[in-house]
């Protein structure tokens, strides 16, 4: 199943135009200049079509950098791909399904595969959280996962 989204954006362009015009002063025909400032703005609309591919339903769990979640790797603050894990960005996945660098969308939010885990097999994604409490509160959820069709 593919999901096609058309994203429209409006950009406001502002400009200030300064015109200098001569002004006659008194009877001696002495000329001064007067600046006239004209402010203009225009809206430029752009449209972009983005196609998303549904990868199916995945089991989603949460993890953090504590010894309960990552065992011997606790406190290292480094993913298996070498990045610093960041809540709201980092996920762990089965690299046979989603290789490092793959950007997927869960509930409309973009995440990047930057980690892997021993228990992460098949259609299972582990979402990184800042604290163990947040990871536990996320619990286990079934989610539809999407990726951009142009994202290899």
Q: How far is CA 100 from CA 21, 46, 91, 111, 151, in A?
A: 62, 32, 10, 11, 12
Pairing relationship of beta strands 2-25 and 90-93 according to DSSP bridges:
unpaired
> Would you state the torsion angle of the CA atoms of residues 90, 96, 99, 103, taken in this order, to the nearest 10 degrees?
-60
The neighbour count for residue 149, using CB atoms within 10 Å, is 13
- Does residue 18 surpass a pLDDT of 50? no
Q: Mind listing the pLDDT tens digit for each residue in 68-88?
A: 998 888 888 899 999 999 999
Reported as a pLDDT band with limits 50, 70 and 90, residue 50 is: confident
Domain boundaries, the chain: 58-147
pLDDT exceeds 80 at position 38: no
Cβ within 8 Å of residue 56, ≥6 positions away: 123, 144, 145
Under DSSP, the state recorded for 84 is P
Task: For residue 129, give the nearest of 89, 102, 79 by alpha carbon.
Answer: 89
Burial of 11 (0-12, 13-18, 19+ CB in 10 A): exposed
State the pLDDT confidence band at 32, using cuts at 50, 70 and 90. low
**What average pLDDT does the structure give for the chain?**
80
Structure-model confidence comparison of residues 27 and 81, the more confident one = 81
Instruction: State yes or no: pLDDT of 14 exceeds 70.
Output: no
Average pLDDT estimate for 55-70:
94
Percentage above 90 pLDDT, the chain: 53
Determine the CATH number of domain 58-147: 2.40.40.10
For the record, the structure tokens of 147 come out as: 């990726």
Summarised one tens digit per residue, pLDDT across range 112-143 is: 999 998 889 999 999 999 999 999 999 999 99
């Amino acid at each position: 199943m593919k999901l096609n989204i058309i994203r429209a954006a409006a950009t406001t362009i502002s400009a200030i135009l300064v015109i200098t015009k001569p002004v006659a002063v008194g009877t001696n025909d002495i000329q001064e200049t007067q600046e006239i400032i004209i402010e203009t703005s225009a809206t430029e609309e752009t449209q972009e079509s983005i196609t998303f591919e549904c990868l199916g339903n995945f089991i989603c769990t949460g993890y953090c950098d504590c010894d309960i979640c990552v065992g011997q790797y606790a406190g290292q603050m480094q993913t298996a791909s070498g990045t610093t894990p960041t809540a709201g960005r980092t996920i762990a996945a089965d690299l046979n399904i989603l290789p490092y660098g793959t950007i997927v969308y869960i509930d409309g939010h973009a995440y990047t595969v930057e980690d892997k885990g021993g228990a992460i097999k098949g259609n299972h994604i582990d979402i990184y959280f800042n604290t163990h409490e947040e990871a536990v509160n996320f619990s286990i959820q079934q989610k539809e996962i999407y990726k951009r069709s142009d994202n290899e």
